[in-house]
Structure 1
Amino acid sequence: MAKPNKKGPTKTVDIFCSGCKAPLFKYRKGGKGALVKCFKERISQDFTSQACICPNCSRPFAREAIIRGAPAYKIIGGKVTFK
């Protein structure tokens, strides 16, 4: 299977916890669709101290997974918002 493009898109989005609105990531997202997964190599800034756990309210927002041979976070539906 093809791996995701390492350089990736240049446009970044800010990802927030939907419960407490704490910032989680700055992510280089491609396309217009919903946020389903975040490839770790495309995260430009990480505000979390523990993987997949919100630093403010301690709720899990994702699960670690291997997608197309690359490590990623699989987002749990409704747990995050992005701008």
Structure 2
Amino acid sequence: MARPNKNAPTRTVDIFCKACQAKLYKYQKGGKGALVKCFVERITQDFTINAGQCPNCQQFFARQCLIRGVPALKIIGGKVHSK
């Protein structure tokens, strides 16, 4: 399988918790599709304390995994939204 593109996308999005509207990440997203996974190397600002857990309401919104050999966070559907 191919690894993710080395040069990071220029478009950044803010990722928020759906339950409490807390800001979770500032992420360099590629493409126009829905937010399904976040590669750890593309997260520019991390506002969480534990990976995949909201710092405000303590709800889990993602789980850690390896996608194409690269560490990533797999987003649980309906737990976050991005702007």
The bucket for the TM-score relative to the shorter chain is: over 0.9
* Offset at residue 8 of structure 1 (A): 1.5
Identity of aligned residues (%): 69
- Which amino acid is the alignment partner of residue 74 of structure 1? K
* Offset at residue 2 of structure 1 (A): 1.2
Under a length normalisation based on structure 2, what TM-score does the superposition of the two structures give?
0.97
Structure 1 distance, partners of 2:11, 2:72, is 19
Q: 2:63 corresponds to which residue?
A: 63
- Which amino acid is the alignment partner of residue 53 of structure 1? Q
CA RMSD in angstroms comes to: 0.6
Q: 2:20 corresponds to which residue?
A: 20
Where in structure 1 are there 5+ consecutive unaligned residues? Answer: none
1:8 aligns with 2:8: yes
SS where residue 21 of structure 1 aligns?
coil
Under a length normalisation based on structure 1, what TM-score does the superposition of the two structures give?
0.97
Structure 2 distance, partners of 1:60, 1:49, is 12
Structure 1 distance, partners of 2:40, 2:6, is 10
- Which amino acid is the alignment partner of residue 19 of structure 2? G
- Which amino acid is the alignment partner of residue 60 of structure 2? P
Moved over 3 A (4+): none
- Which amino acid is the alignment partner of residue 54 of structure 2? C
How many residues are aligned here? 83
* Offset at residue 7 of structure 1 (A): 2.4
1:38-70 CA deviation, whole Å, 9 max, x = no partner?
Answer: 000000000001110000000000000100110
User: What are the equivalent positions in structure 2 for 1:23-42 lying under 5 Å apart?
Assistant: 23-42=23-42
Q: Is the 8 A contact 1:61 1:75 kept in 2?
A: yes
